[in-house]
Structure 1
Amino acid sequence: LRWIRTVSPGIKLRTDNDGACLFVTDEGCSVYNDRPTACRYYPVGHMAIREAGATEDEARYFLVKEDHCKGHEEDREISVTDYRKEQQVEQYDQINREWMQLILKKKSAGPSIGRPSDTSLQFFFMCCYDMDRFRRFVLSDSFKASYDMDDAFYSTVEKEDLALMSFGIRLLKQILFGDETIAVKPGAEEKRLKERREIS
Protein backbone atom coordinates (compact mmCIF):
# COMPACT_ATOMS: atom_id res chain seq x y z
CA LEU A 1 0.00 0.00 0.00
CA ARG A 2 1.16 3.53 -0.62
CA TRP A 3 -0.18 6.96 0.17
CA ILE A 4 -1.39 8.95 -2.82
CA ARG A 5 -0.92 12.61 -1.95
CA THR A 6 -3.75 14.20 -3.91
CA VAL A 7 -6.48 16.55 -2.75
CA SER A 8 -7.90 13.64 -0.77
CA PRO A 9 -5.33 11.12 0.47
CA GLY A 10 -5.92 7.52 -0.44
CA ILE A 11 -4.24 4.16 -0.75
CA LYS A 12 -3.87 1.73 -3.61
CA LEU A 13 -2.70 -1.85 -3.81
CA ARG A 14 0.83 -2.42 -5.00
CA THR A 15 1.12 -4.70 -8.04
CA ASP A 16 3.91 -6.88 -9.38
CA ASN A 17 6.26 -5.72 -12.14
CA ASP A 18 3.69 -6.70 -14.78
CA GLY A 19 0.89 -4.77 -13.10
CA ALA A 20 -0.87 -7.87 -11.78
CA CYS A 21 -2.55 -8.05 -8.37
CA LEU A 22 -0.32 -9.59 -5.71
CA PHE A 23 -3.24 -11.62 -4.37
CA VAL A 24 -3.65 -13.54 -7.64
CA THR A 25 -1.97 -16.96 -7.62
CA ASP A 26 -1.89 -19.85 -10.09
CA GLU A 27 -5.04 -21.15 -8.39
CA GLY A 28 -6.83 -17.80 -8.71
CA CYS A 29 -7.65 -15.08 -6.19
CA SER A 30 -6.21 -15.96 -2.79
CA VAL A 31 -8.58 -13.59 -0.94
CA TYR A 32 -11.70 -14.30 -2.99
CA ASN A 33 -14.16 -14.49 -0.09
CA ASP A 34 -12.88 -11.18 1.26
CA ARG A 35 -12.18 -9.45 -2.06
CA PRO A 36 -12.85 -5.70 -2.13
CA THR A 37 -15.81 -3.96 -3.76
CA ALA A 38 -13.97 -3.05 -6.98
CA CYS A 39 -13.17 -6.71 -7.61
CA ARG A 40 -16.74 -7.78 -6.90
CA TYR A 41 -18.15 -5.25 -9.35
CA TYR A 42 -15.69 -5.75 -12.21
CA PRO A 43 -16.37 -5.54 -15.13
CA VAL A 44 -19.20 -3.28 -14.00
CA GLY A 45 -18.13 0.25 -13.19
CA HIS A 46 -19.81 1.99 -10.29
CA MET A 47 -19.85 5.65 -9.33
CA ALA A 48 -21.95 8.09 -7.34
CA ILE A 49 -22.90 11.48 -8.76
CA ARG A 50 -24.84 14.44 -7.45
CA GLU A 51 -26.55 16.74 -9.91
CA ALA A 52 -26.31 20.48 -9.39
CA GLY A 53 -28.88 21.52 -6.81
CA ALA A 54 -29.63 17.94 -5.73
CA THR A 55 -29.48 16.93 -2.08
CA GLU A 56 -28.98 13.20 -2.65
CA ASP A 57 -26.35 11.36 -4.66
CA GLU A 58 -27.32 8.79 -7.29
CA ALA A 59 -25.61 5.52 -8.16
CA ARG A 60 -24.64 4.98 -11.80
CA TYR A 61 -23.37 1.78 -13.41
CA PHE A 62 -21.54 1.14 -16.68
CA LEU A 63 -19.87 -1.79 -18.42
CA VAL A 64 -16.08 -1.91 -18.68
CA LYS A 65 -14.78 -3.90 -21.65
CA GLU A 66 -11.11 -4.90 -21.59
CA ASP A 67 -9.39 -7.63 -23.60
CA HIS A 68 -8.13 -9.53 -20.56
CA CYS A 69 -11.66 -9.99 -19.16
CA LYS A 70 -12.90 -13.27 -20.65
CA GLY A 71 -16.31 -13.01 -19.00
CA HIS A 72 -17.53 -10.97 -21.96
CA GLU A 73 -17.12 -14.06 -24.13
CA GLU A 74 -19.71 -16.02 -22.13
CA ASP A 75 -23.19 -16.37 -23.61
CA ARG A 76 -25.02 -14.98 -20.62
CA GLU A 77 -27.07 -11.88 -19.85
CA ILE A 78 -27.67 -10.59 -16.34
CA SER A 79 -29.14 -7.39 -14.95
CA VAL A 80 -27.09 -5.06 -12.77
CA THR A 81 -29.47 -5.77 -9.88
CA ASP A 82 -28.99 -9.54 -10.12
CA TYR A 83 -25.24 -9.19 -10.68
CA ARG A 84 -24.90 -7.10 -7.52
CA LYS A 85 -26.78 -9.74 -5.53
CA GLU A 86 -24.68 -12.52 -7.06
CA GLN A 87 -21.44 -10.76 -6.13
CA GLN A 88 -22.76 -9.82 -2.66
CA VAL A 89 -21.87 -6.16 -3.05
CA GLU A 90 -24.95 -4.71 -1.36
CA GLN A 91 -23.49 -4.87 2.14
CA TYR A 92 -20.23 -3.35 0.86
CA ASP A 93 -22.11 -0.53 -0.85
CA GLN A 94 -23.94 0.26 2.36
CA ILE A 95 -20.63 0.61 4.19
CA ASN A 96 -19.02 2.60 1.37
CA ARG A 97 -21.96 4.97 0.89
CA GLU A 98 -21.03 7.32 3.73
CA TRP A 99 -17.43 7.51 2.51
CA MET A 100 -18.57 8.24 -1.04
CA GLN A 101 -20.82 11.02 0.27
CA LEU A 102 -17.80 12.54 2.00
CA ILE A 103 -15.80 12.53 -1.24
CA LEU A 104 -18.75 14.03 -3.14
CA LYS A 105 -19.04 16.72 -0.50
CA LYS A 106 -15.40 17.65 -1.02
CA LYS A 107 -15.76 17.66 -4.81
CA SER A 108 -18.99 19.69 -4.78
CA ALA A 109 -17.28 22.34 -2.64
CA GLY A 110 -14.85 22.88 -5.52
CA PRO A 111 -11.92 25.29 -5.24
CA SER A 112 -13.77 27.39 -2.65
CA ILE A 113 -12.61 25.09 0.13
CA GLY A 114 -8.98 25.33 -0.94
CA ARG A 115 -6.31 22.70 -0.44
CA PRO A 116 -6.52 21.09 3.00
CA SER A 117 -3.53 21.54 5.28
CA ASP A 118 -1.09 18.67 5.76
CA THR A 119 -2.57 18.16 9.23
CA SER A 120 -6.07 17.84 7.74
CA LEU A 121 -4.82 15.37 5.13
CA GLN A 122 -3.14 13.26 7.80
CA PHE A 123 -6.31 13.34 9.89
CA PHE A 124 -8.36 12.30 6.85
CA PHE A 125 -5.98 9.41 6.21
CA MET A 126 -6.16 8.24 9.82
CA CYS A 127 -9.97 8.34 9.99
CA CYS A 128 -10.44 6.50 6.69
CA TYR A 129 -7.58 4.01 6.54
CA ASP A 130 -5.62 3.65 9.79
CA MET A 131 -8.24 2.07 12.05
CA ASP A 132 -5.82 1.02 14.78
CA ARG A 133 -4.48 4.53 15.20
CA PHE A 134 -7.93 6.10 14.89
CA ARG A 135 -9.32 3.78 17.57
CA ARG A 136 -6.53 4.83 19.95
CA PHE A 137 -7.31 8.46 19.15
CA VAL A 138 -11.05 8.07 19.87
CA LEU A 139 -10.40 6.17 23.11
CA SER A 140 -7.80 8.68 24.32
CA ASP A 141 -8.35 10.92 27.34
CA SER A 142 -7.97 14.05 25.22
CA PHE A 143 -10.78 12.96 22.87
CA LYS A 144 -13.06 12.06 25.78
CA ALA A 145 -12.37 15.47 27.31
CA SER A 146 -13.46 17.17 24.07
CA TYR A 147 -16.53 15.26 22.88
CA ASP A 148 -19.70 14.47 24.82
CA MET A 149 -20.13 10.76 24.10
CA ASP A 150 -21.57 8.13 26.44
CA ASP A 151 -19.94 4.94 27.69
CA ALA A 152 -21.97 2.80 25.28
CA PHE A 153 -20.40 4.64 22.34
CA TYR A 154 -16.85 4.00 23.54
CA SER A 155 -17.65 0.36 24.25
CA THR A 156 -18.98 -0.06 20.70
CA VAL A 157 -16.14 1.61 18.79
CA GLU A 158 -13.59 -0.25 20.89
CA LYS A 159 -14.90 -3.57 19.58
CA GLU A 160 -16.64 -2.91 16.25
CA ASP A 161 -14.66 -1.76 13.21
CA LEU A 162 -17.72 -0.81 11.16
CA ALA A 163 -19.05 1.45 13.91
CA LEU A 164 -15.62 3.07 14.18
CA MET A 165 -15.43 3.61 10.41
CA SER A 166 -18.88 5.19 10.34
CA PHE A 167 -17.98 7.50 13.20
CA GLY A 168 -14.77 8.49 11.41
CA ILE A 169 -16.83 9.75 8.46
CA ARG A 170 -19.08 11.74 10.80
CA LEU A 171 -16.09 13.27 12.53
CA LEU A 172 -14.50 14.25 9.21
CA LYS A 173 -17.73 15.89 8.03
CA GLN A 174 -17.85 17.88 11.24
CA ILE A 175 -14.21 18.96 11.29
CA LEU A 176 -13.74 19.59 7.56
CA PHE A 177 -17.19 20.83 6.55
CA GLY A 178 -18.89 21.99 9.74
CA ASP A 179 -21.64 19.33 9.80
CA GLU A 180 -22.34 19.44 13.53
CA THR A 181 -23.57 15.96 14.47
CA ILE A 182 -21.19 15.20 17.36
CA ALA A 183 -21.66 17.09 20.61
CA VAL A 184 -18.62 19.00 21.86
CA LYS A 185 -18.25 19.47 25.60
CA PRO A 186 -18.74 23.08 26.76
CA GLY A 187 -15.44 24.93 26.97
CA ALA A 188 -13.45 22.12 25.32
CA GLU A 189 -12.34 24.22 22.34
CA GLU A 190 -11.28 27.14 24.52
CA LYS A 191 -9.33 24.77 26.75
CA ARG A 192 -7.48 23.28 23.75
CA LEU A 193 -6.57 26.72 22.44
CA LYS A 194 -5.29 27.76 25.85
CA GLU A 195 -3.14 24.62 26.14
CA ARG A 196 -1.67 25.25 22.68
CA ARG A 197 -0.78 28.83 23.60
CA GLU A 198 0.91 27.66 26.79
CA ILE A 199 2.96 25.10 24.84
CA SER A 200 4.05 27.62 22.23
Structure 2
Amino acid sequence: MGKFEHKLTARDKVIVPVQLTEKTRFRFVCDKGVPCFTECCSDLFICLTPYDIIRLKNNLGLSCDEFLLKYTEPFILPRSGLPVARLKMEGEQKLCPFLLDGGCSVYPDRPVSCRYYPIGMGMFRNTDKKKNEEFYYFVKEGFCQGMGRGKEWTIAEWRKNQGAVEYDEFNQDWMEIIMKKESLGPMKVHPQTLEMFFMVSTNVDRFRDFVFGSRFLEIYDVDEQTVEKIRQSELELLKFGFLWLKKALYNEGPLRLREEAKRPKKKVKPL
Protein backbone atom coordinates (compact mmCIF):
# COMPACT_ATOMS: atom_id res chain seq x y z
CA MET A 1 0.00 0.00 0.00
CA GLY A 2 2.90 2.37 0.70
CA LYS A 3 4.16 2.14 -2.88
CA PHE A 4 0.67 2.83 -4.17
CA GLU A 5 0.41 5.98 -2.06
CA HIS A 6 3.57 7.44 -3.61
CA LYS A 7 2.00 7.18 -7.06
CA LEU A 8 -0.88 9.45 -6.13
CA THR A 9 -0.70 13.01 -7.38
CA ALA A 10 -1.64 15.90 -5.12
CA ARG A 11 -5.26 16.10 -6.27
CA ASP A 12 -5.90 12.39 -6.82
CA LYS A 13 -8.78 11.04 -4.78
CA VAL A 14 -9.16 7.30 -4.40
CA ILE A 15 -12.12 5.60 -2.76
CA VAL A 16 -10.78 2.39 -1.26
CA PRO A 17 -13.33 -0.29 -2.27
CA VAL A 18 -13.48 -1.99 1.12
CA GLN A 19 -16.70 -1.87 3.11
CA LEU A 20 -15.90 -0.89 6.69
CA THR A 21 -17.89 -1.19 9.89
CA GLU A 22 -18.14 1.03 12.94
CA LYS A 23 -15.58 -1.25 14.64
CA THR A 24 -12.94 -0.75 11.92
CA ARG A 25 -9.82 0.84 13.41
CA PHE A 26 -7.58 3.45 11.77
CA ARG A 27 -5.08 6.16 12.66
CA PHE A 28 -5.64 9.73 11.55
CA VAL A 29 -4.78 13.25 12.62
CA CYS A 30 -5.58 16.63 11.05
CA ASP A 31 -4.29 19.79 12.74
CA LYS A 32 -1.86 22.63 12.15
CA GLY A 33 1.04 20.31 12.85
CA VAL A 34 0.32 18.24 9.74
CA PRO A 35 2.11 19.66 6.64
CA CYS A 36 -0.99 19.31 4.43
CA PHE A 37 -3.29 21.18 6.85
CA THR A 38 -6.25 22.74 4.91
CA GLU A 39 -5.13 21.33 1.53
CA CYS A 40 -8.30 19.23 1.58
CA CYS A 41 -10.36 22.45 1.66
CA SER A 42 -10.21 23.20 -2.07
CA ASP A 43 -11.68 21.86 -5.31
CA LEU A 44 -14.41 20.10 -3.35
CA PHE A 45 -17.75 18.62 -4.28
CA ILE A 46 -19.88 18.99 -1.15
CA CYS A 47 -23.56 18.25 -1.42
CA LEU A 48 -25.09 20.19 1.46
CA THR A 49 -27.68 18.34 3.48
CA PRO A 50 -30.71 20.20 4.91
CA TYR A 51 -29.16 20.12 8.38
CA ASP A 52 -25.83 21.41 6.99
CA ILE A 53 -27.61 24.43 5.56
CA ILE A 54 -29.48 25.26 8.76
CA ARG A 55 -26.32 25.04 10.88
CA LEU A 56 -24.25 27.09 8.43
CA LYS A 57 -26.77 29.86 7.77
CA ASN A 58 -27.41 30.25 11.51
CA ASN A 59 -23.67 30.37 12.19
CA LEU A 60 -23.35 33.19 9.65
CA GLY A 61 -26.50 35.02 10.75
CA LEU A 62 -28.05 34.78 7.30
CA SER A 63 -31.47 33.93 5.94
CA CYS A 64 -31.73 30.83 3.77
CA ASP A 65 -32.07 32.98 0.64
CA GLU A 66 -28.94 34.97 1.52
CA PHE A 67 -26.92 31.85 2.28
CA LEU A 68 -27.99 29.98 -0.85
CA LEU A 69 -27.30 32.95 -3.11
CA LYS A 70 -23.84 33.64 -1.71
CA TYR A 71 -22.44 30.20 -0.96
CA THR A 72 -24.18 27.55 -3.05
CA GLU A 73 -25.14 26.47 -6.53
CA PRO A 74 -27.88 24.04 -7.60
CA PHE A 75 -26.97 20.53 -8.65
CA ILE A 76 -28.97 17.53 -9.91
CA LEU A 77 -28.08 14.23 -8.25
CA PRO A 78 -27.26 11.94 -11.19
CA ARG A 79 -28.89 8.70 -9.99
CA SER A 80 -32.05 10.13 -8.47
CA GLY A 81 -32.52 13.23 -10.62
CA LEU A 82 -33.38 15.20 -7.48
CA PRO A 83 -32.18 18.82 -7.12
CA VAL A 84 -29.91 19.79 -4.21
CA ALA A 85 -27.51 22.58 -3.27
CA ARG A 86 -23.77 22.15 -3.32
CA LEU A 87 -21.12 24.37 -1.79
CA LYS A 88 -19.71 26.88 -4.28
CA MET A 89 -15.92 27.05 -4.47
CA GLU A 90 -14.16 30.41 -4.93
CA GLY A 91 -11.42 31.71 -7.23
CA GLU A 92 -8.98 29.97 -9.56
CA GLN A 93 -7.90 27.59 -6.81
CA LYS A 94 -11.53 26.68 -6.08
CA LEU A 95 -11.14 27.25 -2.36
CA CYS A 96 -13.85 26.60 0.20
CA PRO A 97 -15.47 30.00 0.95
CA PHE A 98 -15.10 29.35 4.68
CA LEU A 99 -11.35 28.72 4.60
CA LEU A 100 -9.15 31.25 6.41
CA ASP A 101 -5.39 31.23 7.08
CA GLY A 102 -6.01 29.65 10.47
CA GLY A 103 -8.37 26.99 9.17
CA CYS A 104 -12.13 26.62 8.92
CA SER A 105 -14.07 29.74 9.94
CA VAL A 106 -17.30 27.76 10.53
CA TYR A 107 -15.67 24.73 12.15
CA PRO A 108 -18.33 24.14 14.88
CA ASP A 109 -20.98 24.01 12.11
CA ARG A 110 -18.97 22.51 9.24
CA PRO A 111 -20.82 20.17 6.83
CA VAL A 112 -21.16 16.51 7.69
CA SER A 113 -18.91 15.40 4.81
CA CYS A 114 -16.09 17.47 6.34
CA ARG A 115 -16.73 15.86 9.72
CA TYR A 116 -16.36 12.37 8.28
CA TYR A 117 -13.09 12.92 6.39
CA PRO A 118 -11.08 10.71 5.72
CA ILE A 119 -14.07 8.38 6.01
CA GLY A 120 -16.91 8.27 3.54
CA MET A 121 -20.40 7.13 4.46
CA GLY A 122 -23.07 5.60 2.26
CA MET A 123 -26.34 3.75 2.62
CA PHE A 124 -27.77 0.70 0.91
CA ARG A 125 -31.04 -1.20 1.00
CA ASN A 126 -30.75 -4.60 2.70
CA THR A 127 -33.54 -6.49 0.96
CA ASP A 128 -33.22 -9.51 3.28
CA LYS A 129 -33.67 -7.41 6.42
CA LYS A 130 -35.98 -4.97 4.61
CA LYS A 131 -34.20 -1.93 5.98
CA ASN A 132 -31.55 0.61 5.02
CA GLU A 133 -28.05 0.09 6.37
CA GLU A 134 -25.09 2.45 6.53
CA PHE A 135 -21.62 1.53 5.35
CA TYR A 136 -18.25 3.28 5.47
CA TYR A 137 -15.11 3.47 3.32
CA PHE A 138 -11.75 5.24 3.29
CA VAL A 139 -11.09 8.23 1.03
CA LYS A 140 -7.38 8.58 0.21
CA GLU A 141 -5.99 11.76 -1.33
CA GLY A 142 -2.49 12.21 -2.69
CA PHE A 143 -1.61 15.20 -0.53
CA CYS A 144 -3.02 13.85 2.76
CA GLN A 145 -0.30 13.11 5.32
CA GLY A 146 -2.62 12.59 8.28
CA MET A 147 -3.62 9.01 7.51
CA GLY A 148 -1.72 6.43 9.52
CA ARG A 149 -0.58 9.02 12.07
CA GLY A 150 -1.82 10.18 15.44
CA LYS A 151 -4.46 8.57 17.59
CA GLU A 152 -6.13 5.29 16.73
CA TRP A 153 -9.91 5.46 16.31
CA THR A 154 -12.76 3.16 15.55
CA ILE A 155 -15.14 4.63 13.01
CA ALA A 156 -17.80 4.79 15.74
CA GLU A 157 -15.43 6.82 17.95
CA TRP A 158 -14.52 9.10 15.04
CA ARG A 159 -18.17 9.80 14.19
CA LYS A 160 -18.95 10.68 17.79
CA ASN A 161 -15.83 12.81 18.22
CA GLN A 162 -16.54 14.78 15.05
CA GLY A 163 -20.24 15.33 15.80
CA ALA A 164 -21.35 13.34 12.74
CA VAL A 165 -23.83 11.16 14.63
CA GLU A 166 -26.22 14.07 15.23
CA TYR A 167 -26.06 15.06 11.56
CA ASP A 168 -26.73 11.52 10.36
CA GLU A 169 -29.69 11.07 12.68
CA PHE A 170 -31.24 14.31 11.52
CA ASN A 171 -30.63 13.69 7.81
CA GLN A 172 -31.66 10.03 7.79
CA ASP A 173 -35.21 10.57 6.49
CA TRP A 174 -33.91 12.88 3.76
CA MET A 175 -31.32 10.34 2.67
CA GLU A 176 -33.95 7.59 2.59
CA ILE A 177 -36.13 9.74 0.32
CA ILE A 178 -33.22 10.07 -2.12
CA MET A 179 -32.37 6.37 -1.87
CA LYS A 180 -35.90 5.30 -2.66
CA LYS A 181 -35.95 7.51 -5.74
CA GLU A 182 -32.67 5.94 -6.87
CA SER A 183 -33.99 2.41 -6.32
CA LEU A 184 -37.15 3.09 -8.32
CA GLY A 185 -35.12 3.91 -11.40
CA PRO A 186 -36.38 6.30 -14.09
CA MET A 187 -39.76 7.67 -13.13
CA LYS A 188 -41.49 10.83 -14.17
CA VAL A 189 -41.75 13.38 -11.38
CA HIS A 190 -43.84 16.51 -11.82
CA PRO A 191 -41.64 19.65 -12.02
CA GLN A 192 -43.59 21.21 -9.16
CA THR A 193 -42.78 18.20 -6.95
CA LEU A 194 -39.08 18.66 -7.73
CA GLU A 195 -39.39 22.32 -6.76
CA MET A 196 -40.98 21.27 -3.49
CA PHE A 197 -38.15 18.81 -2.83
CA PHE A 198 -35.57 21.52 -3.44
CA MET A 199 -37.42 23.97 -1.19
CA VAL A 200 -37.61 21.57 1.75
CA SER A 201 -34.01 20.41 1.22
CA THR A 202 -32.48 23.88 1.07
CA ASN A 203 -34.78 26.63 2.31
CA VAL A 204 -36.64 26.12 5.57
CA ASP A 205 -37.63 29.81 5.54
CA ARG A 206 -39.61 29.43 2.33
CA PHE A 207 -41.08 26.14 3.49
CA ARG A 208 -42.36 27.91 6.62
CA ASP A 209 -44.00 30.57 4.44
CA PHE A 210 -45.53 27.84 2.30
CA VAL A 211 -46.99 25.93 5.26
CA PHE A 212 -48.37 28.95 7.13
CA GLY A 213 -49.03 31.31 4.23
CA SER A 214 -51.00 29.01 1.94
CA ARG A 215 -53.92 26.58 2.26
CA PHE A 216 -51.53 23.83 3.34
CA LEU A 217 -53.05 23.38 6.83
CA GLU A 218 -56.53 23.36 5.32
CA ILE A 219 -55.54 20.53 2.99
CA TYR A 220 -53.46 18.35 5.32
CA ASP A 221 -54.68 17.03 8.65
CA VAL A 222 -52.04 18.27 11.11
CA ASP A 223 -52.78 18.21 14.84
CA GLU A 224 -52.48 21.42 16.87
CA GLN A 225 -49.47 20.21 18.86
CA THR A 226 -47.49 19.54 15.69
CA VAL A 227 -48.55 22.89 14.22
CA GLU A 228 -47.21 24.68 17.30
CA LYS A 229 -43.95 22.70 17.23
CA ILE A 230 -43.24 23.49 13.59
CA ARG A 231 -44.20 27.12 14.15
CA GLN A 232 -41.63 27.48 16.94
CA SER A 233 -38.73 25.32 15.70
CA GLU A 234 -37.12 25.27 12.26
CA LEU A 235 -35.69 21.83 13.01
CA GLU A 236 -39.14 20.43 13.78
CA LEU A 237 -40.38 22.17 10.64
CA LEU A 238 -37.67 20.46 8.61
CA LYS A 239 -38.56 17.03 10.03
CA PHE A 240 -42.17 17.74 9.10
CA GLY A 241 -40.98 18.67 5.62
CA PHE A 242 -39.47 15.21 5.21
CA LEU A 243 -42.83 13.65 6.10
CA TRP A 244 -44.51 15.81 3.51
CA LEU A 245 -41.97 14.85 0.84
CA LYS A 246 -42.61 11.16 1.49
CA LYS A 247 -46.30 11.83 0.99
CA ALA A 248 -45.78 13.97 -2.13
CA LEU A 249 -43.27 11.65 -3.81
CA TYR A 250 -44.35 8.19 -2.71
CA ASN A 251 -47.74 8.59 -1.00
CA GLU A 252 -46.20 7.16 2.18
CA GLY A 253 -46.09 8.12 5.83
CA PRO A 254 -48.54 9.34 8.46
CA LEU A 255 -49.42 12.68 6.85
CA ARG A 256 -53.02 12.61 5.64
CA LEU A 257 -55.33 14.82 3.65
CA ARG A 258 -58.34 16.27 5.44
CA GLU A 259 -61.57 14.58 4.50
CA GLU A 260 -62.96 17.72 2.90
CA ALA A 261 -59.84 18.03 0.76
CA LYS A 262 -60.44 14.51 -0.62
CA ARG A 263 -63.90 15.33 -1.88
CA PRO A 264 -64.07 16.39 -5.52
CA LYS A 265 -65.06 19.98 -6.03
CA LYS A 266 -68.59 20.49 -7.28
CA LYS A 267 -68.83 21.94 -10.72
CA VAL A 268 -70.74 25.19 -10.84
CA LYS A 269 -73.09 25.43 -13.77
CA PRO A 270 -72.90 28.73 -15.62
CA LEU A 271 -75.98 30.91 -15.39
Give TM-score, length-normalised by structure 1.
0.89
1:65 pairs, out of 140, 161, 167, with 140
Quickly say closer, same or farther: Cα 1:74–1:180, change in 2 above 3 A. Answer: closer
- Compute the displacement of 1:141 (Å): 4.6
Extract unaligned runs of 5+ from structure 2.
1-71
AA of the residue aligned to 1:19: K
Residue number in structure 2 paired with 1:119: 192
Q: 1:153-172 to 2 correspondence within 5 Å?
A: 153-172=226-245
CA distance in structure 2 between the aligned counterparts of 1:174 and 1:5, rounded to whole angstroms: 21
The one-character-per-residue Cα deviations of 1:113-158 (angstroms, maximum 9, x if unpaired) are x132221110111111110010111113501110111222121111
Number of residue pairs matched by the alignment: 194
SS in 2 for 1:70: coil
TM-score normalized by the length of structure 2: 0.66
Q: Which amino acid aligns with 2:149?
A: E
For 1:183, the equivalent position in structure 2 comes to 256
1:2 matched residue in structure 2: 73
Residue 180 of structure 1 and its aligned partner are, at CA, apart by: 4.1
Deviation (angstroms), 1:69: 2.5
Residue of structure 1 in register with 2:87 after alignment: 13
Q: What is the DSSP-based 3-state SS (H/G/I as helix, E as strand, rest coil) of the residue aligned with 2:122?
A: strand
Check conservation: 1:174, 1:182, Cα contact below 8 A. yes
What is the RMSD of the two structures over their aligned residues, measured on CA atoms?
2.1
Q: Deviations over 1:42-75 (max 9, x none)?
A: 1100011113454211110111110233321524
Give 1:79 deviation, angstroms: 0.9
Is the 1:47–1:61 Cα contact (8 Å) retained in structure 2? yes
Partner of 2:212: 139
Deviation per CA, 1:14-47, whole angstroms, max 9, x where unpaired? 0022122110110100000111111100110001
Q: How does 1:90-101 map to 2 (within 5 A)?
A: 90-101=165-176
Q: Counterparts of 1:53 and 1:117 in 2: how far apart (Å)? A: 32
Shift of 1:77: 2.4
List structure 1 runs of 4+ shifted beyond 6 angstroms: none
Matches within 5 A, 1:104-115: 104-111=179-186, 114-115=187-188
Instruction: Write the distance in 2 (CA, Å) between the matches of 1:180 and 1:82.
Output: 33
Q: Deviations over 1:133-192 (max 9, x none)?
A: 10111113501110111222121111212211111111111111010411211121446x
Mind listing any 5+ residue stretches in structure 1 that lack a counterpart?
A: none
> Which residue number corresponds to residue 173 of structure 1?
246
Report the equivalent of 2:158.
83
User: In proportion to residue count, which structure has more helix?
Assistant: 1
CA contact (8 A) 1:139 1:154 kept: no
